[in-house]
Amino acid sequence: MTDTILESKPDLLVDYDRAEQGDLDTEELLINMGPQHPATHGVLRVVLRVDGEMVLEAVPHIGYLHRCAEKIGESLEPYQYIPYTDRLDYVSAMNQNHAFALAIERLCGIEVPGRASLIRVIFLELNRIASHLVTVGAYGLDMGAFTPFLYVFREREMILDLFEATCGARLTYSYITPGGVREDLADGFVDSCREFLDYFEPKIDDYNDLLSFNQIFVKRTGKVGVIPARDAIAYGLTGPCLRASGVRWDVRRAIPYEGYERFDFDIPIGLPGGTGNIPPGVVVGDSWCRYYVRVLEMRQSVRIIRQALDMLADTTPGEIMAKKVKNLKLPAGCEVYLETDNPRGSMGFYVQGDGTTVPSRVKARGPSFSNLCITTHVCRNVLIADIPAIVGSIDMVMGEVDR
């Protein structure tokens, strides 16, 4: 019976001579990765066109978390819109609060008290550390390393304790608002924060021993998803994704805001393997560099926070809010666009006033959205197993992508 079928359909016969020479015809296949796939960050769907184990094309599909966030900003007063900014990049909600508040202050000419400005810097950098801890732990989990995830969340909980003691929340804070901050620091905050920094800084070495310099992790991420500096700039990458490609650009230093020019800190960039303590098998702009730049940034955030805590001694407790911020009217015919450096890159808000207390136009420039745009370009001719390594190193938050 089998012989009869094969004789009637000769195309089912396999030419083993051709197979040995690697000449066998193969068929491409479409694979849906997400939106509920364990290796995707949030509700992201990536359609993979594969030939065997090779990915020929990867196309991201977004919009599963779209909530009209920008349009809502055109129907609320600025202080009412702050809780909506929390829900953009919910892993770094403080930084989202700050970006919008700063744009409103620049539009209306509001001067924030010195103490409020220092408190903002402290919380911005604490949230940067907390955000990078999530990235480090989740990225290790994507690569099959479970233990680092437990370590980083232990430290992250300590940061959330500091947040909760000050504003009562652990994820969406609505703490930084136009004119300053909602509450002064809790009693004993400065001492608790210093204690945390002293405890946390040596832990970064533990992360490096567990994950950063682990040979398996380096081989999974080194020379994978390489983004040259020219491509990073062309696709509008910012933050760690841009700096990992060797471009030393940080809005905090290039276009200072919130008094960042007062602080002494370095801007980490991606370096080739064998440079300093960088392991061999790494090239500038690969997935490992995008991961490691975030590890280095946590050290710099610790430096900034220590300096800000020292400066707090010269401020007056209670001076945390500018005057005349209630019933704030946005100047008619005036507009502003302002960027801040968030954990995932440059977060910008465009706000236009029309003389009322509600903006006539609100537009957000999200770093995750721009960083995600390079996915198709960088995910060509790689293995299926490399996709989580590349997508995870970009570190997007879909609430800010979809908006």
5-52: per-residue pLDDT in tens? 445 544 544 454 554 555 566 788 898 887 777 667 778 889 999 998
**Could you give the strand order of the β-sheet that contains 382-383, starting from the edge strand earlier in sequence?**
29-33, 45-51, 54-61, 382-383
CATH number assigned to the domain comprising residue 286? 1.10.645.10
Rounded to an integer, what distance in angstroms lies between the CA atom of residue 155 and that of residue 241? 24
Residue 342 near residue 365 (C-beta atoms within 8 A): no
CA distances from 239 to 159, 247, 299 (A): 22, 10, 16
| Tokens, residue 275 | 């440079």
The verdict on residue 6 lying in a domain is: no
- On the question of pLDDT at 288 being above 90, the answer is yes
Location of structure tokens 């390594």: 389
Rounded to an integer, what distance in angstroms lies between the CA atom of residue 212 and that of residue 198? 21
Q: What pLDDT is attached to residue 101?
A: 94
Helices 386-394 & 114-142, crossing angle to 10 degrees? Answer: 180
The verdict on residue 11 lying in a domain is: no
pLDDT band at 277 (very low <50, low <70, confident <90, very high): confident
The verdict on residue 34 lying in a domain is: no
The verdict on residue 219 lying in a domain is: yes
- On the question of pLDDT at 293 being above 90, the answer is yes
Q: What pLDDT is attached to residue 240?
A: 94
- On the question of pLDDT at 399 being above 50, the answer is yes
Q: What pLDDT is attached to residue 47?
A: 92
Location of structure tokens 């938050």: 397
| Tokens, residue 376 | 């198709």
**Could you give the strand order of the β-sheet that contains 361-365, starting from the edge strand earlier in sequence?**
335-342, 345-352, 361-365
For 62-97, the DSSP string reads: --TT---HHHHTTSS-HHHHHHHHHTTSGGGHHHHH
The 8-class DSSP code of residue 212 comes to: I
Q: Write down the pTM of the prediction.
A: 0.90
Residue 313 near residue 234 (C-beta atoms within 8 A): no
CA distances from 149 to 79, 298, 354 (A): 36, 16, 48
The verdict on residue 215 lying in a domain is: yes
Q: How many domains would you assign to the chain?
A: 1
Whole domain around residue 348: which residue ranges? 69-402
Cis preceding linkage at 367, omega within 30: no
Q: What pLDDT is attached to residue 16?
A: 44
The verdict on residue 83 lying in a domain is: yes
Mean pLDDT of 258-265: 94
3-state SS assignment for residue 388: helix
Rounded to an integer, what distance in angstroms lies between the CA atom of residue 257 and that of residue 341? 10
pLDDT in tens, 107-156: 999 999 999 999 999 999 999 999 999 999 999 998 988 999 999 999 99
Residue 319 near residue 115 (C-beta atoms within 8 A): yes
- On the question of pLDDT at 87 being above 80, the answer is yes
The verdict on residue 20 lying in a domain is: no
Q: Which residue has the higher pLDDT, 159 or 23?
A: 159
The verdict on residue 12 lying in a domain is: no
Q: What pLDDT is attached to residue 20?
A: 54
Rounded to an integer, what distance in angstroms lies between the CA atom of residue 281 and that of residue 279? 6
Q: Which residue has the higher pLDDT, 233 or 328?
A: 233
